[in-house]
Amino acid sequence: MLRSVQRLLNAHGYTTEGYSSAEAYLDRPDTKIDCLVLDVDLVGMSGIELQRRLRASGSRLPVIFVTALEDAALEAEAARTGCVAYLRKPFPSALLIKALGEASATTRD
């Protein structure tokens, strides 16, 4: 899924960085990130837990969650963490591109 999303975003002019886990993202060099596209169900720390940690540290980085899980409670929890969008796999590419546009608008405000 990671490579597919990267190819899609690159084709739409976005520069991407891929990480194999939430922990790998946290261990990255300090680089400018405009938006995170996170799977909810990651190995190790979940995408929602990563979002909680980022918020607790003061980050206002926009987050888009993607998941194959159909769980209303999980979706509500994702919304409470302040995500820009919550997309269920498989989702139309246009929905992700639209969500990125919305995320970009929040970083410009």
CATH number, domain with residue 70: 3.40.50.2300
User: How would residue 108 be classed by pLDDT, with cut points 50, 70 and 90?
Assistant: low
Q: What is the mean pLDDT of residues 61-83?
A: 94
| Residue 6 phi, psi dihedral angles, 5° rounding | -60, -45
| 96, pLDDT greater than 70 | yes
CB–CB of 40/61 below 8 Å?
A: no
- Give me the sheet containing 63-67, strands edge to edge: 36-39, 63-67, 85-88
Q: Which residue is it, tokens 């969650």?
A: 65
Within a domain: residue 27?
no
Q: Which residue is it, tokens 């546009």?
A: 101
The amino acid at residue 17 is E
Tally the domains of the chain: 1
The pLDDT, as a whole number, for residue 104 is: 84
Q: What percent of the chain has pLDDT over 70?
A: 97
Q: pTM, whole model, 2 decimals? A: 0.91
Measured between its terminal Cα atoms, the distance across the chain in Å is 30
| 56, pLDDT greater than 70 | yes
Q: Which domain holds residue 88?
A: 2-12+32-108
